[in-house]
């Protein structure tokens, strides 16, 4: 018998013995499942005494690069975006904003109708929204969520911009993890939605 064949058979025999004795673990590697979160802020928007005979359309919000993704963004140092590995949003945060904006503006009771821009109902004014940032900042303790929206109100028929505003809210996280950031993001978003709804009522009068 050649030495090569002897070595091969010897290695195989040792492998079988180790396998039977449990020294070699061939169990599948456990992969941590992803946790999926949603933006579901419920703002308390007070009904306004101002009434507008206008239909307002909420355009599908956009997001700046780096934030136009379901990945959850966090920062540990300035100018550098990181993403949580095992946690993500159910959809791009900008897209999740659309129904929340519609609901908040409807609660003012100021408009004849509030619709999505893709709807068949002609609109008098349109709300354009851009997500500037939604990130959990770990540069300080406790970590905090920073949420910034840029909005503009447009006269659809007159084809002119009525007003532009940027809203920013910062909210401390109760825990130093993604879930704490999600809870903080929804609290910050509650305040932003109220401000955006009030902005629409106040600035639509210039049409």
pLDDT single digits (tens) 51-96: 999 999 999 999 999 999 999 999 999 999 999 999 999 999 999 9
Q: What is the 3-state secondary structure (H, E, C) of 137-194?
A: ECCCCCCEEEEEEEEEEEECCCCEEEEEEEEEEEEECCCCCHHHHHHHHHHHHHHHHH
CB 117 within 8 A of CB 58: yes
In sequence order, which residues have a C-beta less than 8 Å from that of residue 150 and are 6 or more positions away?
Answer: 129, 130, 132, 164, 165, 166, 167
**Is position 64 within any domain?**
yes
Q: What CATH number did the domain enclosing 163 receive?
A: 3.40.50.10610
**Is position 198 within any domain?**
yes
Inter-CA distances, 29 with 15, 18, 26, Å: 20, 19, 9
Helix (H, G, I), strand (E, B) or coil at 131: strand
**Is position 106 within any domain?**
yes
Alpha carbon distance 98, 59 (integer Å) = 8
- The beta-carbon contacts of 178-181 under 8 Å, at least 24 apart in sequence, are 178/35, 178/37, 178/72, 178/74, 178/84, 178/86, 178/87, 178/136, 179/35, 179/37, 179/87, 180/136, 180/143, 181/72, 181/74, 181/136, 181/143, 181/145
Alpha carbon distance 72, 136 (integer Å) = 8
The region of weakest confidence among 3-7, 104-108, 192-196 is 3-7
- Looking at the whole model, is its pTM more than 0.85? no
pLDDT at 122 > cutoff 70: yes
**Is position 156 within any domain?**
yes
| pLDDT score of 157 | 87
**Is position 184 within any domain?**
yes
Pick the more confident residue, 158 or 151.
151
**Is position 1 within any domain?**
no
Q: Residue 55's domain spans which residues?
A: 48-206
Q: Which residue has the tokens 């639509």?
A: 204
**Is position 23 within any domain?**
no
| pLDDT score of 67 | 96
Name the average pLDDT for the chain: 88
**Is position 173 within any domain?**
yes
Token pair for 170: 């910062």
**Domain count within the chain:** 1
Q: DSSP code of 104?
A: H
Indicate the pLDDT class of residue 19, thresholds 50, 70 and 90.
Answer: very low
């Amino acid at each position: 018998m050649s030495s090569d064949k002897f070595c091969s058979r010897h290695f195989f025999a040792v492998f079988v013995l180790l396998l039977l004795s449990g020294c070699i673990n061939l169990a599948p590697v456990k992969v941590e499942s992803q946790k999926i979160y949603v933006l579901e802020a419920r703002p308390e928007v007070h009904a306004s005494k101002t009434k507008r005979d206008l239909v307002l359309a909420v355009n599908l919000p956009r997001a700046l690069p780096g934030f136009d993704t379901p990945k959850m963004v966090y920062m540990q140092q300035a100018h550098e975006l990181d993403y949580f590995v095992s946690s993500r949003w159910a959809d791009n945060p900008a897209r999740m904003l659309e129904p929340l904006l519609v609901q908040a503006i409807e609660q003012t009771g100021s408009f004849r109708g509030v619709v999505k821009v893709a709807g068949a109902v002609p609109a008098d004014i349109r709300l354009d929204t851009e997500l500037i940032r939604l990130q959990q900042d770990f540069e300080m303790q406790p970590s905090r969520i920073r949420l910034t929206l840029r909005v503009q109100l447009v006269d659809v028929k007159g084809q002119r911009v009525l007003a532009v505003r940027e809203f920013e809210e910062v909210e401390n996280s109760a825990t130093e993890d993604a879930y704490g950031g999600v809870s903080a993001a929804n609290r910050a978003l509650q305040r932003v939605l109220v401000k955006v709804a009030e902005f629409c009522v106040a600035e639509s009068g210039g049409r």
